[in-house]
């Protein structure tokens, strides 16, 4: 019988499938469609210290084999997430969840991460220093090793839960960024967030997105994501969570061979709301096809 269990920073998952932050909300909309407890975990909507309306519309645009988004971290703020969203979430999901944290200063990150770290439901803090769709925060920390190290170290001192730092692909040397975070105390690395892109409305002769640029996700980015997961897993000694264009059980196996311990599924949830359930169900068959008895046996198998 196929053994799909993995261990992510000391917490065992029944399988490595984790819906990515921003594509699964707080889980309860998907819980109306299927039992989301079949998932290994999920990373809930990115949380900031204060409420955020997000960017003005239009903030979604289709692209060949993917999509652009410039939502801009719309969320009700950490206090409402703790008082309203987490209790509601606990009624439909009974495993540990991943809390995705964003900010505009080191103090923002520390405050939000420490508040969420106090919550019993939260298994990991996913420190998002990679969002390309907000001005003055997010990716500004994730494109400079010194800044990435500073925010990682500050949050590491403030939280007791495993700390996974989410990296942007919009850098010259992804391994350098990962090593900086590892040295500053990160327990894991997750990547990739979206690639910066844009589209132009031919009739209006101006960008389709009000924000001008947005993050490209979907199958188009999978080869880039796989390459960066491979480079990161080669460079660091801590677990890597791979994501970027994952749409099938075969993609999951490929990510794990490249070095991922767990795999997040993002844009595919917006195309097919059953995507993660379908991948979980297809995983044992894919393992049998490729002669895999235990998923843990193949982590980094291509390195």
The residues carrying an active-site annotation are 131
Whole-number Å distance between alpha carbons of 149 and 167: 12
Q: What is the DSSP secondary-structure string of 2-18?
A: -B--EEETTEEESSSEE
Whole-number Å distance between alpha carbons of 192 and 203: 33
Whole-number Å distance between alpha carbons of 50 and 197: 27
- What number of residues does the chain have? 303
- What is the biggest distance separating any 2 CA atoms in the chain, rounded to whole angstroms? 57
Hey, CA dihedral for 137, 141, 144, 146, is it positive or negative? positive
3-state secondary structure 142-165: HCCHHHHHHHHHHHHHHCCCCEEE
CB 266 within 8 A of CB 238: no
SS3 226: helix
């Amino acid at each position: 019988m196929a053994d799909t269990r993995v261990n992510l920073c000391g917490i065992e998952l029944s399988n490595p499938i984790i819906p990515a932050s921003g594509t699964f909300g707080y889980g309860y909309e998907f819980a109306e469609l299927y039992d989301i407890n079949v998932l290994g975990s999920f990373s809930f909507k990115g949380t900031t210290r204060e409420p955020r309306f997000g960017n003005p519309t239009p903030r979604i645009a289709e692209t060949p084999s993917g999509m652009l988004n410039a939502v801009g971290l719309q969320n009700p703020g950490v206090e409402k997430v703790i008082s309203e969203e987490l209790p509601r979430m606990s009624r439909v999901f009974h495993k540990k969840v991943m809390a995705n944290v964003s900010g505009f200063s080191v103090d923002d990150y520390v405050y939000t991460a420490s508040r969420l770290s106090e919550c019993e439901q939260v298994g990991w803090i996913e420190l998002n220093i990679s969002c390309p769709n907000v001005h003055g925060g997010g990716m500004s920390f994730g494109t400079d090793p010194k800044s990435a190290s500073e925010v990682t170290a500050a949050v590491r001192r403030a939280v007791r839960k495993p700390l996974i730092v989410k990296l942007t692909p919009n850098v010259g040397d992804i391994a350098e960024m990962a090593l900086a975070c590892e040295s500053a105390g990160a327990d894991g690395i997750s990547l990739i967030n979206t690639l910066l892109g844009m589209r132009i409305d031919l009739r209006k002769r101006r960008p389709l997105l009000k924000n001008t640029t947005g993050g490209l996700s979907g199958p188009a980015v999978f080869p880039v994501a796989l390459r960066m997961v491979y480079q990161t897993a080669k460079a660091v000694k801590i677990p890597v969570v791979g994501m970027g264009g994952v749409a099938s059980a075969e993609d999951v196996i490929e990510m794990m061979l490249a070095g991922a311990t767990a795999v997040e599924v993002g844009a595919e949830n917006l195309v097919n709301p059953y995507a993660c359930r379908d991948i979980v169900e297809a995983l044992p068959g894919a393992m049998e096809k490729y002669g895999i008895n235990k998923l843990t046996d193949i982590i980094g198998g291509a390195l």
